[in-house]
Amino acid sequence: MLQIDALAYSDLRRALELGLCPTIARLLREGFALRRWFCGLPSATPYCQAGMFHGENAGIPGFRFYDKSARRVITCNAPHGVQYIRDRIKSPGALAGGSSYVNLLDGDAQTVAFTVATREKMSVYRRLGGTRMALLMLLHPIRMIRMIGQGAFEWILEEWERARGELAGRVPHSEGIFPFIRILSNVVVRELQTMAILLDVYLGVPVIYSTFMQYDELAHHFGPSSKQALADLRRTDARISEIWRMAQLAGGRGYDLVILSDHGMTPALSYRVQYGESLGATVQGILNDTPRAQPEPPRALASYAEDTEYADMGPEVVEAVAQLTPTSFGARQSIRKFRDWLRSRYGLREIIFPEKYRVDRTNDVVVTYSSCLALVYFAATERRLTHDAIVGDPRWSRLYEQLIAHPGIGLVATLGTDGVVVASKRGRATLRYGRVDGIAGGNPLEIYGTEPYVLRAIESLVRQPNAGDCVLFGSYDGYDIISFDDQVGAHGSAGGDQMYPFIISPEQLGLASETLEDARDIHRTVLARYAAANAENAPPSAARLTPVQPRTAV
């Protein structure tokens, strides 16, 4: 199984029409079936891969979320955050006895490389592939030389495309670390994972799952339908061609090939660029203006606190310069004013790492961003606050109403006593068992989708353990969605193509007639079947997925 991360069904069709994926086009002509499916919510890789690998994805309400009882932010950009998720999954993984490459979770795979979290503790060296990956690099010097040349080309291409995008106003700002991420992702990782898969196929490893993450990185920064993101699919398509050719030559081992995406992506506008501040700053401003009896307002952030996702790098450098500057002629004060101005307008820290969440040491309010999904926690209590508790507390009721009224926020969902309360500038309603009841004004879910499976997914998201007391979707106009991260392609909430990935599979798997309304359904209809066939105690007949042709590997 080869995952093209974040590639929506519609964008794959667009790439096929442009002739950018000749291998996939040939597979479709030769009998493979392509269909769209619904990934569930949140439309994010941790939730989707947990569902696909284990059939279990409860307690993952976003790419970033807050554990009230542990009083810690869980972020899947950090290994310890993904490990937190992995440690709470109890179901067996469908990749047992196989290989996991460039995935967030291991699915109980025996061999891993560039996989973030595993059931068994292992060193970073082993997570990166260990000695096996090092030997692959030594045994393929031509590929290594090609990687160096391609890396230099990617650097030049990134600087040129970013400059053009900034001048045209299509990108929010330059992230200084992104060229390195682009080279690592688009060149180094793609080549190494391809070599590892080719070796596995040659050796007959029973199940192999690998994620090609390059499209996701480029689509976040240039847009899901951008020339940069779609054109890069040609290189992934070429790697798929190598892998499929090896599978066909692999001595009758009977490999099936499944190509899929875990979720899609929707064109986005940056909240910070559109409104001149981050969502955390907006929340703090509302709290500061809320009439209160206590002398200090609740806080959403102690300005770029040390316990955010990344250290306060840029402002600390400026502060160090200020401390070394003589106090004469007001030079130190001027440098600190410059620091504060730059932080409020642009943020030195944001050039390298944009703000991903806000949390104060007193934990009054925690705000986490997961692209176009945000979660707001009232963290003074460990229990989940209901809608009635929020609107009945003067500290939080004004914040709740102001968030609904903000033009950058399209939906605010809270947990009611007998359903999920959804509210927007359009109107308010209650969501129960996949139905919208008690609509006051317009239907707040109209723009995000009113299909029963969409409504069930939204309700399930709000009911997720560790979901925010308020669940926020970025404002959506039918094309662009507001991203709380600095992105021009977003996923995480409902709205647009982000909910609709694709899957390409052999016709004999029969997926055309299957209901695929959550990532767990991919586990049920695909991976669990191969896992059962590959089990040590499976009878010989278990390997026969169709009455005609035996299949024992994927």
Confidence at residue 542, expressed as pLDDT on a 0 to 100 scale: 47
Q: Of 84-88, 234-238, 248-252, where does mean pLDDT reach its minimum?
A: 248-252
Q: Which of 280, 508, 287 is nearest to 394 (CA)?
A: 287
Report phi then psi at 21, rounded to 5.
Answer: -130, 70
Domain locations in the chain? 2-56+91-265+497-543, 271-490
Confidence at residue 291, expressed as pLDDT on a 0 to 100 scale: 75
CA dist list (Å): 327 to 321, 445, 487: 12, 57, 40
Higher pLDDT, 247 or 546: 247
Confidence at residue 203, expressed as pLDDT on a 0 to 100 scale: 86
Whether 260 shows a pLDDT value over 70: the answer reads: yes
Catalogue the E-assigned strands of 325-419.
357-359, 365-370, 373-378, 409-415
Q: How far apart are CA 207 and CA 205, in angstroms?
A: 6
Q: How far apart are CA 356 and CA 371, in angstroms?
A: 9
Q: Of 57-71, 161-175, 446-460, where does mean pLDDT reach its minimum?
A: 161-175
Confidence at residue 540, expressed as pLDDT on a 0 to 100 scale: 52
Q: How far apart are CA 230 and CA 76, in angstroms?
A: 25
Q: Tokens standing for 259?
A: 């190509």
**2, 262 in Cβ contact below 8 A?**
no
Q: How far apart are CA 139 and CA 122, in angstroms?
A: 25
Give the amino acid at 527: L
Q: How far apart are CA 160 and CA 5, in angstroms?
A: 24
Q: How far apart are CA 129 and CA 193, in angstroms?
A: 10
Tell me the CATH number for domain 2-56+91-265+497-543: 3.40.720
Q: How far apart are CA 135 and CA 113, in angstroms?
A: 13
* Per-range mean pLDDT, top range of 148-157, 349-358, 518-527: 518-527
Residue-level length of the chain? 554
Question: CA angle, 207 as apex, 206 and 208 as ends, to 5°?
Answer: 130
Q: How far apart are CA 219 and CA 264, in angstroms?
A: 10
* DSSP-H helix ranges across 386-497: 387-391, 394-405, 452-463
